[in-house]
Structure 1
Amino acid sequence: MNTESLLRDLREELDDGGLRGSFLVRDLHTGQEIGLDADLEFPSASLVKVPLAAATFERIRRGELDGATRLDVEPGRVTTPGPAGLARFRHPARVAIDDLLYLSVAVSDGTAADALFALTPPAEVTRMLREWGIDGVSVRHDTAELADTPAERFEPGEVHLAHALAIRAGTAGRGHPVSQLDVSRASAGSARAYVALLEALWRPSEIDPGVAARTRDLMAHNLLRQRLTPDFGSDATKWSSKTGTLLNLRHEIGVAEHADGQVFAVGALTESRVPAAIQPEAEILMARVARTMRDHLRSR
């Protein structure tokens, strides 16, 4: 099947499943790529924890921070809700910067990320991205803001109402009354922009090699593996990734390193029209679309 026909079929498959997305797969050795609305911007959600980690590692490299420095995280001071990590702690904790980095990326711990943002604010992370030549990813707020959405104002059995609001209130220009879903106000990026970041972390670039290596290592130990991992991870493939989730948004970026030497960067950013918080079918669909694109590129 030629590329044009394949992309048409994949777009229809996504639409039938209630998804709209920005997808890009790039061969990091040849530069060949295949994309589907690859320049369409989405709010980034937890994907921003990757540039935050890289920026923090860079400041450690420069001597501005010490990874062994322990920070006090007090209940009631850094209070980003989350399913795992420091947000679930009942008592004060003292955690080293290096360990906050692990929690932020590998466990997607928002409380850990916000402790790091207190050291390196979003505007500084964006400035460093621009220094590295990454122009399409913007970091505009910490992760605490991601918790202040309509979902927090509904009872657990009414979360679908928050998702319905998220789905219906968006504008054609990607604006939204919920600031975290407005690409002009939220941290945002496209599949192409995040694949550019991945390429800068996996290939020689303006990012210091040691900084890139440490960031890659955190992504390799990502514990949230229900989304693209089933279609990309295997005994013959190392899959390093980061997910992002907010209301009807489900994202994942990652790099597949195959035993035969091929290396592919993958960006899959999606929004759902289905008003439900738990949608395993959507995650299966986005993974299948991304894998099909990778397989097509790999067979060229």
Structure 2
Amino acid sequence: MERAFREADVSGRLHAVDIDTGRELGVGADDPVVLASVYKVPLLVAFFRLAARGVLDPAERITLRPDERTEGGTGLSVMLDDVTMSLRDLALMMITVSDNAAADAVYARVGRDEVNAALDGLGLPGIRVTGDGRDLFDALLADSGTSGLGELWQRADEPGMLDRLGPLDPSRTSAGTPRELTGLLSLIWLDRAAPAAECALMRRMLGHQVWPHRLSAGFPRDDIRVSGKTGTLLTLRNEIGVVEYPDGGRYAVAVFTRAAEPVAVAPRADAVIGATARIAVEALRRVR
């Protein structure tokens, strides 16, 4: 795994665990890592825990206008007209296509304190969420002194620029460790992150993620199911997910990578997520 990360010209952190036996392995599994859009999984858990308690109504309908939606490259973020959708379907959009506008609408109903309280209640204090997508983008612009994400991309290779950006520093943004993130996934798959019905809905949403180029790329078989959530931010490419085999084997995997240079298209960094996940899962299966 370490060699694969080096050959892809990234630094990597990974943890994989057999959900049913607890066997595990990793590379830097307890190192703090930036969540980026992976923060949407703890948000999803907190959302469904509140829904199960009746604190919020997942069928509540929310209308979002174009001028109040968070930037992003997918979903509601790029739509041109008013959109009305239930909170539950907004949660679906934030997971399946990593919709920033949908995620921020859910976050507005749930709140940072509830997300972190849910993580504490699940025994995962190493995962912390500090804000939503709008907070992250605002921090990027403030730290970089730029007026927009386009200008930030143009100036990203300036000396010292990346070092100034709080959203790339796990001590200054939403962060966790690979081990605790696989722990969170394991709790969802074991019906312990929330009541069983809510965990089933979370598994369904994570199973509908549309991106095939990272974790799923390591398991190109029709009889292997991969569910997950990606995270992408400048030099960072991440994914956490669960790989399920037809023989019943279930493996939670978290892979976090950081490249030296910010590039929008990085196929080697994307591919190494699936490659290292496959190495880890195959090793766990040999001792199952």
What does residue 6 of structure 1 align with? none
Asked if residue 62 in structure 1 is aligned to residue 49 in structure 2, the reply is no
List per-residue Cα deviations over 1:176-212 (Å, max 9, x = no partner). Answer: 5212112122000111110010111112535322221
What does residue 10 of structure 2 align with? 19
Q: Secondary structure at the match of 1:76?
A: helix
What does residue 94 of structure 2 align with? 104
Asked if residue 216 in structure 1 is aligned to residue 210 in structure 2, the reply is no
Q: Indicate conservation of the 8 Å contact 1:56/1:120, yes or no.
A: yes
- Give me the whole-angstrom Cα distance separating, in 2, the residues matched to 1:204 and 1:82: 32
- Give me the whole-angstrom Cα distance separating, in 2, the residues matched to 1:160 and 1:13: 29
Identical pairs, percent: 33
Normalised by the size of structure 2, how large is the TM-score? 0.91
- Give me the whole-angstrom Cα distance separating, in 2, the residues matched to 1:48 and 1:216: 16
| Matching of residues 121-270 of structure 1 within 5 Å | 121-148=111-138, 149=140, 153=147, 159=153, 161-162=155-156, 164=157, 176-205=163-192, 207-270=194-257
List per-residue Cα deviations over 1:240-274 (Å, max 9, x = no partner). Answer: 10000111110000001100111111000111113
Runs of at least 5 residues in structure 1 that lack an aligned partner in the other structure: 1-9, 171-175
- Give me the whole-angstrom Cα distance separating, in 1, the residues matched to 2:217 and 2:67: 37
- Give me the whole-angstrom Cα distance separating, in 1, the residues matched to 2:133 and 2:72: 10
Q: Indicate conservation of the 8 Å contact 1:21/1:268, yes or no.
A: yes
Over 3 Å counting, the alpha-carbon distance change for 1:168 and 1:277 in structure 2 is farther
Tell me by how many angstroms 1:153 deviates.
Answer: 4.6
Tell me by how many angstroms 1:138 deviates.
Answer: 0.5
What does residue 36 of structure 2 align with? 45
Of stretches 13-22 and 32-41 in structure 1, the one that deviates more from structure 2 is 13-22
- Give me the whole-angstrom Cα distance separating, in 2, the residues matched to 1:219 and 1:210: 15
Asked if residue 75 in structure 1 is aligned to residue 66 in structure 2, the reply is yes
- Give me the whole-angstrom Cα distance separating, in 1, the residues matched to 2:241 and 2:130: 22
Q: Secondary structure at the match of 1:94?
A: strand
2:82 maps to which of 88, 92, 108: 92
Tell me by how many angstroms 1:23 deviates.
Answer: 0.3
How many residues align? The count is 283
Q: Indicate conservation of the 8 Å contact 1:160/1:276, yes or no.
A: no
What does residue 173 of structure 1 align with? none
Over 3 Å counting, the alpha-carbon distance change for 1:155 and 1:249 in structure 2 is closer
- Give me the whole-angstrom Cα distance separating, in 2, the residues matched to 1:265 and 1:87: 30
CA-based RMSD = 2.1
Over 3 Å counting, the alpha-carbon distance change for 1:64 and 1:30 in structure 2 is same
User: Once superposed, which parts of structure 1, at least 4 consecutive aligned residues long, lie more than 6 Å away?
Assistant: none
Q: Indicate conservation of the 8 Å contact 2:187/2:193, yes or no.
A: yes
Tell me by how many angstroms 1:277 deviates.
Answer: 1.8
- Give me the whole-angstrom Cα distance separating, in 2, the residues matched to 1:218 and 1:22: 25
- Give me the whole-angstrom Cα distance separating, in 2, the residues matched to 1:66 and 1:129: 21
Over 3 Å counting, the alpha-carbon distance change for 1:248 and 1:216 in structure 2 is same
- Give me the whole-angstrom Cα distance separating, in 2, the residues matched to 1:15 and 1:128: 36
1:36 maps to which of 27, 36, 40: 27
Runs of at least 5 residues in structure 2 that lack an aligned partner in the other structure: none
Q: Secondary structure at the match of 1:277?
A: coil
